[in-house]
Amino acid sequence: ESVVHWFKRDLRLQDNRGLSLASQKAKELGVPLICMYIVSPQDYQAHLTSAVRVDFEMRTLEVMKEELAGLHIPLYTTTIEDRKAVPGHLLQKFKEWGAKHVYCNIEYEVDELRRENKLVKKCLEEGISFTALHDDVVVPPETLMTGAGKQYSVYSPWFKSWIKHVHAHPDLLDAFPAPTTNDESAKRRFSDIFSASIPSAPSNKLLSKEEKERFANLWPPGEHEAQARLSRFLEGKVSKYQDTRNFPAMNTTSIISPHLSTGTLAARTAVRAAREANSTKKLDGGNAGVAGYISELAWRDFYKHVLAHWPYVCMNKPFKYEYTAIEWEYNDEHFAAWKEGRTGFPIVDAAMRQMKEMGYMHNRCRMIVASFLAKHLLLDWRMGERYFMEHLIDGDFASNNGGWGFSASTGVDPQPYFRIFNPLLQSEKFDADGEYIRRWVPELKGVAGKAIHDPYGRGAGKQAEKAGYPKPIVDHKQCRERCLARYKEGLGRG
Ligand code: FAD
C-alpha cells in the first residue's frame, strides 16, 4: 500500500497543503508516501507555456527529487505525449503502487478542473480516495461574496472583504508542515523511481544552449531560492515598495512571480511573512510598503477567484461581453514590430526586449505594452495575451488574462476604455532618466537627456537613425482618436 501526492503547480516541500496531508495520511497508515509529476507536452502546447518556464520547472524538479530522496520519498516523473492519456496513466500508477489515498492541489483552469473531475470518478470506481485541495490561493474561490451574495467584480471592495476574512480566519495563513521521512525500506521498494532521472523538456519546448545558460543564471530554481528572495525583499526593499514599485529601472519589487506561479512558493507563505514584517502584525495598517505589497499579492487571489467563478474567461472570451464587437486591425507588420521591440516607442521596445531576454517584464511596463498593443495598434489583445504566455517565466493564466483585460479595458475591473496611456508621458514619469530604456535598447545608449523618450521627436533623430533605431510606427494622437472611435462603435454594437 501507499499514499500518493500528485505535484502540479505546487513544486515545493514546505507549506504545501496537499503534500502535507498526504504525508500525514501515510504516517497514520504506516505506509510510504510516493510523489509524482507528469510532463505533458500537449498541455504545454494548449496553455502556450513558454520554453523558459518549462526549463525552470525541470530544474526545479531536479532540486525537489534530491530533497525528497533525502527523506526516502520517491518522486516519479514521466512524459505522457497524449494529454487525454494522463488520467489513465495516473490511475494505472495508483493501482500499481497500491495507493488507497491520493492528494493534489487544485488548478482552477477549466481543462484541469475537468480532468480532475474525471479522475475523481475513476478513482471512486476503483475504491481510491482522491482529495483535491485549495492551496494555490490564500482564500478559496467562492468564499467572498457581496451583500447580494454575488462574486465581486471590483477589486477594492473584494480586497476589503479579503482582509476581513483572513483576519477573522487567521488559520488560513498557518503553515503546513513539510513531509516526514519514509521508512528506509522505501529506498529498496521504489529503487527504480529513485534511480530514474527527470525527463528532459519536450521537443516542442526546447531552449538553445545559450538560452539555457542565460536563464539558469537568471533564475535559480527551488523553494530555498524562493524563500531567500522573499526574505531579502521583506528585510529591505519592502519599506519603500509603495513609493518605488512603479519604476522599472529601480529593481524594487520582489520578483517572486516565477516562484508563485510554479508553486515553489505558496501565496500563503508570502502573505504570512509580509504580515510578520508589518509593525501591526496585521495585513493592513502599519508599514505602507508592507500593506501595499500584501494588496498586490491579493490581486493574484482576486484574478483566480474571477477565473474560478467565470470560467468563460478561459475560453477566449472577454470578461465584458459588450466588448466582443470591437473591430480590431489586422496588421502583421505592427504585430511583429511590437513583438520584436522595434515600434520606435523606446519604453515599449525596452519592455518587450526585457521580456525576451529575461522571460520577465516589470508590471508598469506590462501595462504600457499591453495598452499600446490594444489601443494604439488596435490589435486584438488576445494576441498579446498569448505572446506573453509564450515568453514569460511567470506566465499564469488568471493574472495574465486579468492584466490584459485591465489594460485593454475588456476585463474585470478594467481601466476605462477612454483612458489611453500616452507612452511618452508614461516613459517620462516612470523612467525619467531613461535608465531602463538605455539598459534594454542599446541603440539609444548614447542619446542624452529627455530625447531618450522620443528621439525622433526631440532632436536626436539622426543619432537614433545612425544607430539603427526605428522611427515610430504610428502617431500617438491619431491612434488615440482611432481607438476612442473604434471602442465606442464596438460598444454601440456589443
Ligand atoms: P511584486 O510587485 O513584488 O508583487 C508580488 C506578487 O504579487 C507578484 O509576484 C504577483 O504574484 C502578485 N502581483 C503583483 N501585481 C499583480 C497584478 N497586477 N496582478 C496579479 N498579481 C499581481 N503576473 C503573473 O504572475 N503572471 C502573469 O502571466 C502576469 N501577466 C501580466 C500581464 C499584464 C498585461 C499585466 C498588466 C500584469 C501581469 N502580471 C502577471 C502581474 C504582474 O505584472 C506581475 O505579477 C509582477 O510584475 C511580478 O513581479 P514581482 O514578483 O516583482 O511583483
What is the complex's ipTM, to 2 decimals? Answer: 0.99
Domain check: are 426 and 481 in the same one?
yes
Domain check: are 385 and 293 in the same one?
no
For residue 191, tell me if it sits in a domain.
Answer: no
Q: Provide the CB-side half-sphere exposure for 489 (13 A, CA).
A: 9
pLDDT in tens for each of the 494 residues of the chain?
A: 999 999 999 999 999 999 999 999 999 999 999 999 999 999 999 999 999 999 999 999 999 999 999 999 999 999 999 999 999 999 999 999 999 999 999 999 999 999 999 999 999 999 999 999 999 999 999 999 999 999 999 999 999 999 999 999 999 999 999 999 999 999 999 999 999 999 999 999 999 999 999 999 999 999 999 999 999 999 999 999 999 999 999 999 999 999 999 999 999 999 999 999 999 999 999 999 999 999 999 999 999 999 999 999 998 899 988 888 899 999 999 999 999 999 999 999 999 999 999 999 999 999 999 999 999 999 999 999 999 999 999 999 999 999 999 999 999 999 899 999 999 999 999 999 999 999 999 999 999 999 999 999 999 999 999 999 999 999 999 999 999 999 999 888 76
With beta carbons less than 8 A apart as the criterion, state whether 17 and 131 touch.
Answer: no
Domain check: are 161 and 37 in the same one?
no
CB-CB neighbours of 445 under 10 Å: 12
With beta carbons less than 8 A apart as the criterion, state whether 479 and 334 touch.
Answer: no
Q: Which domain holds residue 89?
A: 1-135
Max CA-CA distance within the chain?
Answer: 76
At which of 288, 309, 330 does a domain end? 309
Domain check: are 242 and 343 in the same one?
no
The residue whose grid cell reads 506561479 is 261
Q: Which atom of ligand 1 is nearest to the CA of 261?
A: 25
Domain check: are 85 and 159 in the same one?
no
Domain check: are 357 and 475 in the same one?
yes
Quote the CA–CA distance of 113 and 45 in Å, as a whole number: 18
Residue among 50, 232, 257, 360 to mutate when testing ligand 1 (max atoms within 8 A of CB)? 257
User: In the 8-state DSSP scheme, what is residue 171?
Assistant: G
CB-CB neighbours of 457 under 10 Å: 14
Domain check: are 41 and 161 in the same one?
no
Domain check: are 15 and 99 in the same one?
yes
In short, whether 260's Cβ falls inside 6 Å of ligand 1 is yes
For residue 182, tell me if it sits in a domain.
Answer: no
Catalytic one among 62, 67, 310, 328?
A: 328
Specify the pLDDT at position 492: 84
Catalytic one among 67, 211, 296, 357?
A: 296
For residue 179, tell me if it sits in a domain.
Answer: no
Q: How far is the CA of 257 from the centre of ligand 1 (A)?
A: 6
Q: How far is the CA of 373 from the centre of ligand 1 (A)?
A: 19
Specify the CATH number for the domain of residue 424. Answer: 1.10.579.10
For residue 417, tell me if it sits in a domain.
Answer: yes
For residue 202, tell me if it sits in a domain.
Answer: no
Specify the pLDDT at position 494: 65
Helix extents (H) in 317-345: 332-340
Residue 62 annotated to the active site = no
Domain check: are 388 and 361 in the same one?
yes
Quote the CA–CA distance of 286 and 306 in Å, as a whole number: 29
Domain check: are 351 and 412 in the same one?
yes
Catalytic one among 97, 162, 338, 381?
A: 381
Which residues does 477 contact at the CB level (< 8 Å), separation at least 6?
A: none
Secondary structure tally for the chain: helices H, strands E: 23, 5
| Structural domain count, the chain | 3
For residue 208, tell me if it sits in a domain.
Answer: no
- Residue 350 cell numbers, joined: 525596452
Specify the pLDDT at position 133: 97
For residue 193, tell me if it sits in a domain.
Answer: no
Instruction: Give the global pTM.
Output: 0.97
Domain check: are 113 and 142 in the same one?
no
Domain check: are 330 and 464 in the same one?
yes
Specify the CATH number for the domain of residue 46. Answer: 3.40.50.620
For residue 231, tell me if it sits in a domain.
Answer: yes
Residue nearest to atom 48 of ligand 1 (CA): 257
Quote the CA–CA distance of 155 and 165 in Å, as a whole number: 15
